[in-house]
Structure 1
Amino acid sequence: MTEQNTKIKNRYNRISKVYDLMEKPMESMMMDDWRKELFEKIEGTKMLEVGVGTGKNLPYYPADKKVTGIDFSEKMLSKAKNKSEGKGHITLLEMDAENMTFDDNTFDTVMTSCVFCSVPDPVQGLKEIRRVCKENGKIMMLEHMRSSKPVIGKIMDVVNFIPLHIWGANINRQTLENLEKAGFKKETITYKNVWSDIVKIIEITNEK
C-alpha cells in the first residue's frame, strides 16, 4: 500500500465513528431512491461491492445473491460487519480497491457507491474492477464528480482541499473520463444525472 493510500485509510479509520452522521445531509437528498434504482439493474448471482464503507448498501442486496464487500479501512468495515450480522449471503473483507486479490472474471456485477472520490489512484481502481468483473458483466456506480458547468466546476476545484484533508474525498474527480482511461469503451458506458450533473448513476457492460 502506498503512502497516500495509508494516509487516506487512516483518515477513514479516524472518522469511522461519525461517518454515518457526517453523511446524513447527503442521505437526505434522495440517496435511498438512488440506491433502489441502482440495485434494480444488478445481474447474476455473484456480486462485489468495492468500498463497502459502513455498509449502507447491504440491506438492498437480495438474499439469493452471493455478496462480497471490500474496504481498506478496517474500522469502517467493522461498522459494516455489525450491519451484516446474521446475513450468510454477505462476506466482508479488508482489501485495497487498487490491488484486489480476486481472480480475473470472478463477479457478475460490481457495485460502487460514492467510492471513486476517495480511491487514491482511481484509474488503477477502475482497471481492477474491469479485471475482476466477468466478460459482459455489469458494473453499476452511484458516484459524485466534478460538474462540467464552468463556474460550479471551478468552485469545486477551489474548495476540494477541505473534504480531501478532512477524510480524503475529492469532490472534483472526473470519473467518466477515468473510466475510459481504465480501458472501458465509451459506447459501453451509459449514465443518468440524478442531482444536477454532479451525482450520476453509471451503467457499464464490461466488454473486454
Structure 2
Amino acid sequence: MGTWFPKFYDPLMKPLEKMGFDKVRKELIAKAEGRVLEVGSGTGANFRHYRKAVEVDATEPNPLMLKQSIKQAEKSYVPVVLYPAKAEELPFPDKTFDTVTATLVFCTIPEPEKALQEIRRVCKQGAKILLFEHVRMNGKLAGKTQDLLTPIWKKAFDGCHLNRNTLELVKRSGLIVLDVTSYSGGLFLVIECVNG
C-alpha cells in the first residue's frame, strides 16, 4: 500500500463524485438495513448516506485511509465502528450481518474470491449485498485497452485492477444476483445480491 494514494484519493475522486458517483452511493447505501458491514470503507465517503442501518462495522486495511475516515464516522447519522481488517480475513462471527456494502473496492482486493466467501460467511441467510464497482468492459477495444493499462495502473493506483470482472466473480461466489445497473457504458456497475 502506497502513502501518496490515500492522501490524494478524495481530491482525485471529487470530480467523479460531482458527476454522479455521490448520487449512486446515496441511492445504493439507502438500501442498507439492520446491522451493516462496509468492506473497504476507504476515507468514509459512504458514511453520511446510512439512514436505516442500526450500526455500521467498516473495514479498511489501509491505515492512512482508515485514519482519514474517522472524521466521517464521527459525523455519521448512525454509529460507525472502524476495523483495520482485510476483506479476505473479516474479524466477525458467522451470520452476523443483515447487509454488506462495498463501493469501488473490489478492484483493489488481492484475493476477491476469498473476500466474497468471507462476505457470505459473515452474512445472514438472505442478507443483502450492495456493490458499486468499476469492471472490465464488454467491448473488444475497451476491454483490451483496460487489459493493456492494468499493469501500469495497478502500480500507480494502489493495486487497482482496471480489468477485473467483478460481476462474474460475484456470480461464481454463490451469491444470488438480483439486479445489475450499468453506468458509463458498462464501466461501472451497481450489483445487488442476496446471500442464498
Same fold (TM over 0.5): yes
Match of 1:81 in 2: 70
Distance in 2 (CA, whole Å) between partners of 1:38 and 1:55 is: 15
Match of 1:164 among 154, 164, 174: 154
Distance in 1 (CA, whole Å) between partners of 2:180 and 2:36 is: 20
Offset of residue 126 of structure 1: 0.9
Confirm or deny that 1:195 pairs with 2:184: yes
Which stretches of structure 1, 4 residues or longer, exceed 6 Å deviation after superposition? none
Cα deviation digits, residues 172-197 of structure 1 (max 9, x gap): 00011111332224xx4421112211
2:32 and 2:53 in contact (8 A); partners too: no
Amino acid at match of 2:164: R
Distance in 2 (CA, whole Å) between partners of 1:79 and 1:126 is: 26
Match of 1:23 in 2: 13
Match of 1:4 in 2: none
1:142 and 1:201 in contact (8 A); partners too: yes
Query: Secondary structure of 1:154's match?
Result: helix
Match of 2:59 in 1: 70
Q: Mark the runs of 5 or more structure 1 residues left unpaired by the alignment.
A: 1-9
Match of 1:32 in 2: 22
Query: Secondary structure of 1:85's match?
Result: helix
Match of 1:50 in 2: 39
Two-structure CA RMSD over aligned residues (Å): 1.6
What TM-score, normalized to structure 2?
0.93
Distance in 2 (CA, whole Å) between partners of 1:152 and 1:25 is: 22
Distance in 2 (CA, whole Å) between partners of 1:42 and 1:93 is: 19
What TM-score, normalized to structure 1?
0.87
Match of 1:105 in 2: 95
Distance in 1 (CA, whole Å) between partners of 2:103 and 2:164 is: 14
Q: Mark the runs of 5 or more structure 2 residues left unpaired by the alignment.
A: none
The percentage of aligned residue pairs carrying the same residue is 36
Query: Secondary structure of 2:186's match?
Result: coil
Offset of residue 168 of structure 1: 1.1
Query: Secondary structure of 1:23's match?
Result: helix
